[in-house]
Structure 1
């Protein structure tokens, strides 16, 4: 059995998923928005979609090792480009589908610094969850923001690195950490969870441009092209904006 098959966790968004269904590998931060996009896509006559969510770095490794995905929705631009460079993704398929935002999340408003992220160290966080910076672009952005605000050295002892940004958010909502730096999509989607959050200023980290590519060995190339066209539509942009993302396409 290939190594990638041991670690794929699949989430089925249709009642019955067949072998010929479109397979999309997606960064954890975009799972909930993608589910909403797929629901609208299928309701509009699109084909069912099979989703695998995880850290961008993990998906990249799976694809390099032959995972049979059709579309890769990364949380960065680097890995889609690397796949193009080695001939595993179609050159003309790459586009930025979302511009991500980072937020500082805490269980209570009292634990959030009034001055924003630069005041976090003064709050003496018990534990701070971030995604693994080596695997997850949102983890890299979190580390960049802490370095830019001159807090990395003072806070790194309390930093807890999760496998991906979704796991970092789970650490927060379950009370395992007092604070977390996560994707804005989680706080927009998890309105029923207790907790408060503030946006992290974009100037403290590199832009989180999330690129999509169609894989050259895609089992379902026609379905992949159709779905990627929908992902660039105003209808999809409207869904993304509801989850806190910016897009290059205006919503209707």
Structure 2
């Protein structure tokens, strides 16, 4: 018993020493990843002691910010094009990029009867607004436009379109009732393996280009232990299981 305080002091010192090495990683995060990242970040912190400091937005907007010197260390993109460009332009670490998820697009309505399981509502005359992310800067927005084109209904729905800067804003248009429908990320509406509220139609993957989502280590994170650990953690089974739970295809690394 006389050695117990000494043992406790030693254990406390070891724990404190470990926390001294913990760091933060500044991550630019595509808006569709908001909910999955919240869980992944919490699990990552418990596993490593490192903290994720996220900023949510559109991948295209982050690209412009990074070219202007924004101090992010990791980019979790909504596509594979921007991370490739960042590598090519010398703003990211060569060879660090990989696909962490493939996203799925869903036509969603807050109305439980608003969207039928086959998406035939798109073949009817528009009733209300249809929200999409800006297709010029948001990959999910580009996929939405490709879907409307594939179905031959773009001209009919064009006057009803409302654009958000990111898929997060497109989702908010529908969630707030300012749009009757929206093309959003499946991860934004999936809960326990199904659409949690409202109604939706999961767009067949061949209706649009694959939404391959890449992560890349930015130059600012080149020497960051936290940033390097975060990239490795994204390859782990716990992280991949979380992504699968939100409707992503995680493929193989």
Q: Is the 8 A contact 1:143 1:152 kept in 2?
A: yes
Determine whether 1:72 maps to 2:92.
Answer: no
Determine whether 1:39 maps to 2:37.
Answer: no
Q: CA deviation at 1:192?
A: 10
Q: TM-score, normalised by structure 2?
A: 0.86
Q: Is the 8 A contact 2:101 2:243 kept in 1?
A: yes
Q: Specify which of 130, 147, 150 is matched with residue 132 of structure 2.
A: 130
**Structure 1 consecutive aligned stretches of length 4 or more whose deviation exceeds 3 Å:** 189-194
**Inter-partner Cα distance in structure 2 for 1:100 and 1:202:** 9
* Structure 1 residue aligned with 2:144: 142
Alignment length (residue pairs): 230
Q: CA deviation at 1:32?
A: 1.2
1:114-143 Cα distance to aligned partner (Å, 9 max, x none)? 532x54131523100000000100000001
Q: Is the 8 A contact 2:78 2:211 kept in 1?
A: yes
Determine whether 1:115 maps to 2:118.
Answer: yes
Label 1:115 to 1:248 Cα distance change in 2 as closer, same or farther (>3 A): closer
Supply the RMSD in Å over aligned alpha carbons. 1.9
Determine whether 1:88 maps to 2:91.
Answer: yes
* Structure 2 residue aligned with 1:182: 184
For 2:241, what is the secondary structure of its paired residue? helix
**Inter-partner Cα distance in structure 1 for 2:43 and 2:183:** 29
Q: Specify which of 170, 189, 212 is matched with residue 215 of structure 2.
A: 212
For structure 1, list consecutive stretches of 5 or more residues without a partner in the other structure. 1-19
- Structure with larger Rg: 2
Q: Is the 8 A contact 2:116 2:201 kept in 1?
A: no
**Inter-partner Cα distance in structure 1 for 2:178 and 2:191:** 20
* Structure 2 residue aligned with 1:105: 108
* Structure 1 residue aligned with 2:228: 225
* Structure 2 residue aligned with 1:3: none
For structure 2, list consecutive stretches of 5 or more residues without a partner in the other structure. 1-22
**Inter-partner Cα distance in structure 1 for 2:60 and 2:36:** 20
Q: CA deviation at 1:49?
A: 1.1
Label 1:92 to 1:206 Cα distance change in 2 as closer, same or farther (>3 A): same
* Structure 2 residue aligned with 1:165: 167
Determine whether 1:240 maps to 2:243.
Answer: yes
**Inter-partner Cα distance in structure 1 for 2:195 and 2:114:** 19
Label 1:219 to 1:115 Cα distance change in 2 as closer, same or farther (>3 A): closer
For 1:26, what is the secondary structure of its paired residue? strand
